[in-house]
Structure 1
Amino acid sequence: MFIVSLTYLVPLEQVDAFIPEHVSYLNEQYAKGRFILSGRKEPRTGGVIISAIADRKKLNDVLAEDPFHREGLASYEVTEIVPTKASEKLAFLL
């Protein structure tokens, strides 16, 4: 499992122009079971994605499809985690 932290590299006006395409990209990844949670940071400096993809190379390939990546709008910091404890509601992640 991976946590992906996006940080915007350009003004929000440039990011906003690609929000509809980014949302479509996210919807596709959710439909394929690759992403399990996402949202924007507050303050609005980027976003976070939690991915169920198990392979880092595969994750990199999927992230390369993101319009934010393609257009150079954001940098991506990826952290791999191995869940060992969860609340009852999130036990399915273990």
Structure 2
Amino acid sequence: MFVLELTYTAPLERLDALMEEHIAWLDDQYAAGVFIASGRKNPRDGGVILAVGEDRAAIEKVAAADPFTAHGVCTYRITEFIVTKTADALAPYSQGLPG
């Protein structure tokens, strides 16, 4: 699983102008089964996305397709982690301890 942390690098007005495109991109990733949760940070200086994917390269490709990235208004920090414990609703994403 991956934690994608967005940090805004432009004024909120520029982000808000791209928000419709960004939300459509988010919706596409949810429909594809890549994203399982997302939202704004508080204070509003970025966002956080929980994602699943084959590997880091695949997630980096998804992040690069974000309109926020394409228009240079945010940066991504991507952290991969092994899911060893979950709430019941997230059990399908459990990976267990590495061998």
Please classify the TM superposition score into its range, dividing by the shorter chain length.
over 0.9
Unaligned residue ranges in structure 1 (runs of 5+): none
- How does the TM-score come out when normalised to structure 1? 0.95
Q: Which residue of structure 1 aligns with residue 36 of structure 2? A: 36
Q: What displacement does 1:87 show?
A: 2.1
Q: Secondary structure at the match of 2:48?
A: strand
Unaligned residue ranges in structure 2 (runs of 5+): 95-99
**Hey, what's the Cα distance between the residues in 2 that align with 1:56 and 1:88?**
25
Q: Which residue of structure 2 aligns with residue 60 of structure 1? A: 60
Q: What displacement does 1:62 show?
A: 1.1
Q: Which residue of structure 2 aligns with residue 88 of structure 1? A: 88
Matched pairs, number: 94
**Hey, what's the Cα distance between the residues in 1 that align with 2:63 and 2:90?**
24
Q: What displacement does 1:93 show?
A: 1.6
Of all paired residues, the percent bearing the same amino acid is: 47
Q: Which residue of structure 1 aligns with residue 10 of structure 2? A: 10
Provide, for residues 41-85 of structure 1, a one-character-per-residue CA deviation record: whole Å limited to 9, x for no partner.
Answer: 011001001111131111111111100000110010000010111
Q: Which residue of structure 2 aligns with residue 75 of structure 1? A: 75
Q: Runs of at least 4 residues of structure 1 off by over 3 A? A: none
C-alpha RMSD of matched pairs (Å): 0.8
- How does the TM-score come out when normalised to structure 2? 0.91
